[in-house]
Structure 1
Amino acid sequence: MKKGEGTVGVGDAVRVVDPLGFFHEIERGERLIQRYDLHRGAQIARLDHFNICTPDIPAAYAHYKSLGFGCSETIEGDEHELYAAWMYRKQTVHDVAFTGGAGPRLHHLGVATHESHQVLRTADIFGALHEEKHIERGPGRHGVSNAFYVYLRDPDGHRVEIYTSDYYTGDPDHETYRWNVHDDRRRDFWGNAVIESWYKEATPVLDLDGRQQPVSSSVLDESAVQVGADGLG
């Protein structure tokens, strides 16, 4: 495990980037992809991505670019100011996404299923168990990433996305797709409303010594751009 800190410049400002941890080996587990007798619930295939609320999207973008991450999609203002960025190392839409907001905080953990009906099955199971209160948002289809999704909250309030149907980003000339912040399809391709808790609530994070990181306010707040179905207030 290696730990390190770096700095990146944004205009005339320089800020410290939080430490990162990397690993180069892991114990191998049993291959379970065809152990259908063991598959239950959403039939999760893998851990897919993390979504992080950060007050400085350009700094996060520049730092992860310097680590070799690509950028599949962004949400931008009319002057190309960054509201959010989806960045990847594997050949999918994202391994980490940065959403403008008070942070650093964990917005959600994304886990992938193979097919969209498994997302719907997840919602049906929660309904059948009378636990529908844990379904925060969806099912729906994102504009960004094209993914079919449902967002759940665990008993401690942490957010998990059950996710499928994004796309391949492995072409060497893959171009970043740029959504305008005024396009109400960016968060939900069908125009369904994005609820306030999804924009405002997230989980505080700890530093490498287990201490809660202080939260800084964001300059850009996507939820303040009230368009289409996003009429919050």
Structure 2
Amino acid sequence: MQPATNGPTRPTVVIDVLGTLVDQTGSLERRVAEVAGIEGVVAADVARRWLGHVGEQERAIVERRRAFAPSHELDAEALDVLVRERFLSPDAAAELTDASEWLLPWPDTVAGLDLLSADVTVLALSNASRRVLAGLSANTGMRWHQAFSAEDAGTYKPAPQIYALALAGAPTGAAAPFMVAAHAWDLRAAAAAGLRTAYVPRADGDPARPDDRFDLQAMTLLDLHAQLLDLIESVQ
């Protein structure tokens, strides 16, 4: 397939990974149930506690209440807590150390990324560590032109420094990138940092508020690709 456009009119999209490209919560629930041999409801509670710990630590880092640690280290901390509190056995926790590298993409993700990368510049921007992003790409077939991790910024979303990575990484002469996310809070922070916004709802995302205004709204990545093609054609 030939790209729809080349040069400075080629849009740039900056795509969130955890929750937007992959089903983070559901994938962890299924992996915990399989590894620990526990029922789905119990596994869901374990996954909720796991992600809750990681989220709390990310907020502490953004607020500079603790030193930066990459996401795979925060995952390891969460597993240690779950073992101490007897929600997981040590053996189960050891098998789950790489679980974040095996999160499952949403049904439209891989095909959507393939379409997008043919016609626009695709940057991944994630709170996931470099190790996790490399594992996800290798294990799922997700592809992007460049990936930026919170590890590169030394902080987590929604700190403005992480969005600055995407702005600095956009090709020379390109218009402001579109931040693509299923989390309205992520898009609000991106807009404040100077990015345009594109909302794609997911089952585990952060729903938009009535007063939210995004530059684009799409039901899937395939829909987003079609809207971006229309945008390209309108400026040519």
Q: TM-score range by the shorter chain?
A: under 0.3
- Indicate the structure with greater helix content: 2
The TM-score, its normalising length taken from structure 2, stands at 0.27
TM-score, normalised via structure 1 length? 0.28
